[in-house]
Amino acid sequence: MGKEKELNITLKVWRQRGPQEKGAFETYQLEGISTESSFLEMLDVLNEKLVKERKEPVVFDHDCREGICGMCSLYINGHPHGKDQEVTTCQLHMRRFNDGDTITIEPWRSAAFPVIRDLMVDRSAFDKIMQAGGYTSVNTGGIPDANAIPIPKPVADEAMDAASCIGCGACVAACKNGSAMLFVSAKVSQLALLPQGKVEAAKRVKAMIAKMDELGFGNCTNTRACEAECPKAVSISNIARLNREFICAKLKD
């Protein structure tokens, strides 16, 4: 087996002590970073170095490190989660960079996602949108048989595609208006397509859009930046469905 390749890189990392504090970039040098390590493992190495130097480590969000939770919300060289398509930051590997590269790392930039510290932002706005209507509350009685409600496979597949959204916020970070339309439309679509979700469809779409507007997210720009940067390739066709659901709900009123 050949020797593992290593990189010497320069990091420009956004440092900010809190939501009301003024932030700035700080520059760090790292040597001997394995090309087989993930981006978050590289940040772990940086923090170990800073701790040894008795400096404050960089705060960043992470949990599963398997591309499931969506917490690794980093803006890397101008792209949410980095330049690779359909991957989260934890799935981005250092082999995608070159020796001597300068890597700029920032938090999500959105008024609805205030910086907590350094690279960690408060994404609880998404939780509030889900609490407004991203669920079914009808009494379904006992657990029905799996095939009791026939659902065409294309419809089920489309609902599952919408449900693949992990709520990471890359769509908001990519949008020049900070719109959450892709996230909200995915959550509305996954229920609107299924019989179980149709009972509260009108109430749901109105409540979730109202909460989205209340929390300060911007309007959709129709530039498809959200779709291009989404790590789960959620389609903007869901936004069209969201608009149809909302118009139908308002017409019923």
Domains and their CATH numbers in the chain: 6-116 (3.10.20.30), 123-137+148-252 (1.10.1060.10)
The tokens for 249 are 């709900």
pLDDT given for residue 137 in this prediction: 86
Residue 253 has pLDDT above 90, yes or no: no
Q: What is the mean pLDDT of residues 165-180?
A: 97
pLDDT given for residue 147 in this prediction: 78
- For residue 140, what pLDDT band results from cuts at 50, 70 and 90? low
Average pLDDT along the chain: 94
pLDDT given for residue 3 in this prediction: 66
Q: Please state, in angstroms and rounded to a whole number, the distance separating the CA atoms of residues 115 and 109.
A: 8
% pLDDT > 70, the chain = 98
- For residue 252, what pLDDT band results from cuts at 50, 70 and 90? confident
- For residue 148, what pLDDT band results from cuts at 50, 70 and 90? confident
Q: What is the mean pLDDT of residues 154-161?
A: 96
Rounded to two decimals, the pTM is 0.93
